[in-house]
Amino acid sequence: MTLDQQCLIAMGGNLPFGDLDPAATLSEALVRLREEGAEIVAVSRFFRTPAFPAGAGPDYVNAAAVLQGAQEPEAMLALLHRVEAVFGRRRETRWGGRTLDLDLIAMGARILPDRAGFEAWRSLTPEAQQSHAPDRLILPHPRLHERAFVLVPLAEVAPDWVHPVLGRSVREMLAALPEAARDAVDPL
């Protein structure tokens, strides 16, 4: 699979689902993704990360995965949402606690809905980010370059993927983050 075909997924959770702690939920979600037909090419280690935004709840368990990106982005997003629902995910509070979060971070070099739409979401203030959610898929994720909890795991599975707008690899975006942000992401 070329870098152009990579489907990058960020995974996380900070609330139990039944008897499953967040790490077990992530493991079971990977099993369910395979059962649903997803071809998982690589999975990072699991990491403990502080809740985002700070104080939003218990620490998270985060990881990243690379899937074969043969599906269209909307179909991949629908698959991720189906698997989240199996594990009790409800979208009630933006940036609230969750049993499972499967975010479609990027699909190769695709920019959705277009460059202007991507830039509009990337330029939102932090206050607007917390109160507004896109009504359509935005790719790549407009703030992936700011989030150590995404980039640290992603660097294990797709260090050479290049952001199609910023022109920087995962490795370069991670190196540009403050050391304290990188250090807050601890392997389990």
Q: At residue 177, what are phi and psi to the nearest 5 degrees?
A: -75, 155
CATH number at 170 reads 3.30.70.560
Q: What pLDDT shows up at residue 2?
A: 52
pLDDT in tens, 6-25: 899 999 999 999 999 999 99
What does the alpha-carbon distance between residue 98 and residue 135 come to, in Å, rounded to a whole number?
20
Q: For residue 10, what are the contacts with CB-CB under 8 A and spacing of at least 6?
A: 62, 63, 64, 101, 102, 103, 105, 141, 144, 149, 150, 153, 154
Task: Specify the higher pLDDT residue, 136 or 172.
Answer: 172
Mean pLDDT of 125-132: 61
Confidence of residue 132 (pLDDT cuts 50, 70, 90): low
Number of compact structural domains in the chain? 1
Is it the case that residue 95 has pLDDT exceeding 70? no
Phi first, then psi: what are they for 134, rounded to 5°? -65, 150
> Which domain does 41 fall in, by range?
3-187
Residue 177 has pLDDT above 80, yes or no: yes
- The answer, yes or no, to whether the previous bond of 53 is cis (omega within 30 of 0) is yes
Whether residue 56 has pLDDT greater than 80: no
Give this prediction's pTM: 0.89
DSSP state of 139: B
For residues 144-154, give the mean pLDDT. Answer: 96
Residue-wise DSSP of 75-131 = HHHHHHHHHHHHTT----STT---S-EEEEEEETT--BS-HHHHHHHHT--HHHHHH
Helix (H) or strand (E) holding 154: helix 148-157
For residue 61, pLDDT beyond 70: yes
**pLDDT surpassing 80 at residue 94:** no
How far is 5 from 53, CA to CA, in rounded Å? 31
pLDDT above 70 for 5? no
